[in-house]
Structure 1
Amino acid sequence: MTAFAVGDEVLGSSSTPSYAQFALADPAALVTRPADVSWEVAGSLAGAGGTAWKVLDLLGVATDETLLIHAAAGGVGVLAVQLAVARGVRVIGTASESNHELLRSLGAIPITYGDGLADRVRAVAPQGVDAVLDASGRGELPVSIELAGGPERVLTIAAFDAADHGIRFHVGGGGEDTVQAIQDILGLIKDGRLQVPIWRTYPLTEAAAALEASRAGHLGGKIVLLPA
């Protein structure tokens, strides 16, 4: 017996991650899709939302702390920004100039990435930052360690040389906390405190193009694959 019946609309994690029209899932890993949450948004919550929720938990960010997020306008970044803001955290987000207004609208302080990043961060956070989330993976780890005063509260989901810098590398999305993450995010959406910007959708047949767009960066929200 489960809480769901044939035809119920649900969202969550599948048992075997894949790009497919059909998937198997443990009912315990699913929640009911609210009628006012679109499928594009619903499809973004388990992966990007679960990851954003989990990494903030791992970093232990708390009210009145300052968090630096690299690639803050990307799929995970835009959700991590809003989840952190909801906790009362001051967020600084790196992004291209074209996405600065988006970050401001979400409650973050936007700065441009690239040469001189440390100086730009210190201009808005003279004492440095308490924690750093790297969702970019484009060489930001040394400056992140410098700004955070050490590697202990720096975490990456994108830099494969993390171990060389003594940094934690997180994979696995929200893990066993995915359902809790989804429920928390849905609550914030209902209260009007969180939005899920959809940068672009692709049909399933164009999954390779979607991955290439993701690797290229400069996104302004989430990329979503549609089944047809």
Structure 2
Amino acid sequence: MEKLEIKYQKNSFHMRTPYGFTLIEVLIALALLTIIMGAVYTSFFSVNRALDRFDKVSLKYHEARTALDIMKREIEGALVKNPRSEDENKVSAGFVIKDRDILGISASSLELTSYSFRGNSLITVSYFVTMKNGNLSLIKHESPPVFKEKGYSLDFMEDIRGFSVETMFNNTWVKTWDTATTGKLPEIVRLSIEFDDNGKIVTLSEYAKPKVGTKL
């Protein structure tokens, strides 16, 4: 009887009691929990970074489309003669496209006088590209056609990869135009803005036709 009792006590030492877990089981549970939490943590931040990139790219598309739409409206209201000018033979408003580049990147400039789409007032508007902190920005300057020095400038769109303004001449797209030479507005204008979409250069374009007048 004594031998059987001793054997039972030895075996019972290795059995799990109904009151808790062994140290090995606790360590295994902690290890599994750590692995699961690490996977959840990594997935959460990966999704968060992806959403952040998506928001930035979506905002860039929205900014480009808005900028092109504003320029299109201004071109549609462009004119080459200021109706408020006393001298009917004097060209007091014009439409000028200049071909420029910055470090080999297209950076056209555009200047025109137009009826503001926000009202009936005349404005002289110019668009040009400049380098800021290593990035290209599209700048807009707006002023009354008589007092250009009283205008203001603003960052129209930041961090672009190119801006081009073209018009059709002899069935060919060209990047220069000056009403002082041509005596008329271009028949059609193509506006293009380039920007980065996660390492891929995207180009959005818009076409505009002046509607107010085409000749001096």
State the TM-score bracket (shorter-chain normalisation).
under 0.3
**TM-score under structure 1 length normalisation:** 0.23
Q: Which has the higher contact order (CA 8 A, sep 6+)?
A: 1
Which structure carries more helix by proportion? Answer: 1
Larger Rg: 2
**TM-score under structure 2 length normalisation:** 0.23
